[in-house]
Amino acid sequence: MAEGTTHCYHCGEAIRSGPRFEATLAGEIKPMCCIGCKVVAEAIDQGGLGNYYRYRSKLAVTPEPVADSYREELQLYDQPSLQRGFVHHHADGTLQATLIIEGITCAACVWLLEQQLKQFDAVESASVNLSTHQANIRWHPDQLKLSQLLERIASIGYRPHPYLPNQQDTIVRRENRLAIRRLAVSGIGMMQVMMYAIALYAGAMQGMETVHRDFLRWVSFVVATPVVLYAARPFFEATWRDMKTRHLSMDVPVSIAIGGAYLASSWAMLFGGGEVYFDSVCMFTFLLLLGRFLEMRARHRTNRSGNALLSLLPASAVRVSDGSEERIAIGELEVGDRVRVGPGQNIPADGLVLEGCSSVDESALTGEYMPIRKEAGDRVIAGSANAENSLLIEVSNIGTETRLSAIVRLLDRAQQEKPRAARIADRVASWFVAAVLVTAALVFGFWYQHAPSDAFWITLSVLVVTCPCALSLATPTALTAATGFLHGRGLLVTRGHVLESLNSITHILFDKTGTLTRGKLTLEEVVLLGERDPEQCLALAARLEAQSEHPIARVFQRPELPAAEQLRHLTGEGVEGVINGQRYRLGKPGFALPGAPLATPKAEGQWLLLAHNEAPLCWFRLNDQLRPEAADTVARLQQQGYRVELVSGDAAPVVDAMASQLNTDLSLAAATPDIKLDHLQALQKAGARVLMVGDGINDVPVLAAADISIAMGGASDLAKTNADMVLMSGDLNQLTDALHIAAKTRAIIRQNIAWALGYNLLALPLAASGLLAPWMAAIGMATSSLVVVGNALRLGRAIPSNR
């Protein structure tokens, strides 16, 4: 290899005395500046990831071999206590870590990181977000340690950090600062060049000496150069990446327009042929950057929704131990700790109130703006605000296991999914760019034959006026506005396809307990059938239900009593277990006494039978209040043309009475999860599109199988994980609002697409005929995008004031 100054193939660093290291990549010898670059480059090539060097748009940072001291530091993250803030434990035993990756510069970095992580057999999924530098990795901890994942990331030149909201904010602030600098350069440049352009235009009409004209052109060139080379740099970088990946985006015609106008104007300035349009270049760059900046701010607001929720957690908590109080960092809390939360303070973890009575504001989490009364025995959630009196709370969930963290994960999942309408719009925009480029080439060819001096500027107008910014914004702006509006009203959208799919719903199925009712069952009566007294029967029931999440279990649960042994829950039937060596059953009569079930009493309510060794001990009569808005919600849904059905595992008398009260179209009683699923699938085979609303573990199969599913805010974690939406506020009125918003969103998306296409079809002939100057085309393009965004914001006024 020749001597002299050369550059490292991996990082681009100068090697002034000739390369000391070399790596063989794809059969070719490449110079390397250090052993770190050599190791990384060979690892990339040997791992089948050689395309990284074709996709990257920026040179990699020079990596350092993972030092022993840094490896030891990474191994500390294998300790569960250090994983608490950024690692979530899934029910199937897998772990999910959320990291911030330092050193990401472009899409090639994202691709490389994901491919490297997926090479581990123990990794189930790995995704990296280019805009937030956030990585989500899910793996099997019995096969792979977290430190091994972190070491793999570090070995290819990146720096992994546990995800913390303040680190995310640092990245956002850096991106904002850079965007503002580019916007400022282009704005100042536009104003300066426009002043010179006014003089040039006036001179063209009234006459101007050549020396003065050339001077103004040179000054315009000097001012426009940093606008093109610095402010417009992201467009050129994106175009270069698109060319390497053979993909067309809206940046391609934008870059051609900016770069072509700048080069042609420079040519005209140097050789005196034609006009200069440095003013159009600067104005177009500024207007486009302004639109991108506003879009970026909207994206950051969306990305910050999870961070805003996490910021509800206090930095510290007051732990109570042996009668003394000490303030500790929230990360030091353990399950079982007791914490004191004073009035005006936020609750640091999920827990159970042991002492005190106060009102708690959960509006940021549930959308319910009225404070909720909490007293001994009630559960509280992390991030909610204590309004009045001091509370003593026993911690039950911390870190990533809190309900607050679960909501953040659902928000992240919704943001990562792209609905079908958005995918179609992206494909249309890509084809549209190709059509624009072909049209621009034809226009140039025509005018070059008939008026060569005008060919370039008319072609420039065509490229600018047909930029598909509005088309690309048509769908995501409407979906973002609708999702944010529903979130503000307590309805959390967790899947990207929801707003699109809601428009095809024909049937709505409701569970009863916890869905149409408040889900807060009360014990109304104990009917003794044996020799035990009511208190003994209640204690037995409490031990049987100690580990259940079902709403019925909450009626009996007492934290001070131990759980029964050998507990077995039969979904939709009941629970059995061993207490003091004796087997007990609690549930439906056919389950509690399988040999000779007793007839259910006729009195209103839900009856459960407690039995011991096939001998009945007592009946428990439970009652649940109907939600006050349930009847009105069902009536309005039916008025809108939906078929409303009630499916419940409760006994027929209870279900039939509620169905009659609500006037549902059909009721299905004593429905086990299998029966519910069979009923839903039968409807779907008949051509129905079904929305299921439920809250319990027994609703999980039917929630997963429904076309759209909604879990109530108080539902089990498993039910919320399998649902497409979560009704955090518990207000059934939001269901009709969601359907109304979905229809309005579809209409606005169609309006936006129609406007974007109509504008281009109208403006293209005007530009192609030479009636639009480039600066007029730039204004038209920016205005088109603003119309689309403004139309999407109308969704905030989509709900009528009177229901």
Listed in sequence order, the residues at least 6 apart from 695 whose beta carbon sits closer than 8 Å to its beta carbon are 511, 513, 514, 515, 519, 551, 711, 712, 714, 715, 716, 719
Specify whether the CB–CB gap between 779 and 286 falls below 8 A: no
674 among known catalytic residues? no
Specify whether the CB–CB gap between 128 and 16 falls below 8 A: no
* Helices within 489-598 (DSSP H only): 498-501, 534-544, 553-556, 589-592
Which residue in the block uniquely carries the two structure tokens 């204004």? 779
CB count in 10 Å sphere of residue 302: 16
Q: Which long-range contacts (CB under 8 A, 24 or more apart) does 433-440 make?
A: 433/248, 433/249, 433/250, 433/252, 433/253, 433/468, 434/248, 436/253, 436/462, 436/463, 436/466, 436/467, 436/468, 437/248, 437/252, 437/253, 437/256, 439/466, 439/764, 439/768, 440/253, 440/256, 440/466
Active-site entry in 511, 650, 695, 731: 511
Specify whether the CB–CB gap between 541 and 584 falls below 8 A: no
Q: Which of 470, 488, 484 has the alpha carbon at shortest distance from 789?
A: 470
Residue 377: φ, ψ to 5°? 100, -15
In the chain the first and final C-alpha atoms are separated, in Å, by 79
DSSP SS3 for 800: coil
Question: How far apart are alpha carbons 676 and 667 in whole angstroms?
Answer: 11
Question: How far apart are alpha carbons 554 and 540 in whole angstroms?
Answer: 14
- What does the buried/exposed string (b/e) look like for 652-671 if buried means 16 or more CB atoms within 10 Å of the residue's CB? ebbbeebbeebebeebbbeb
Question: How far apart are alpha carbons 730 and 421 in whole angstroms?
Answer: 29
C-alpha distances out from residue 357 to 21, 460, 518, Å: 71, 70, 22
Here the tokens at position 690 are 């079904």
Question: How far apart are alpha carbons 409 and 419 in whole angstroms?
Answer: 18
Q: How far is CA 495 from the centre of its chain?
A: 8
- Residues linked to residue 622 through DSSP beta bridges, in sequence order: 523, 606
Give catalytic residue positions: 511
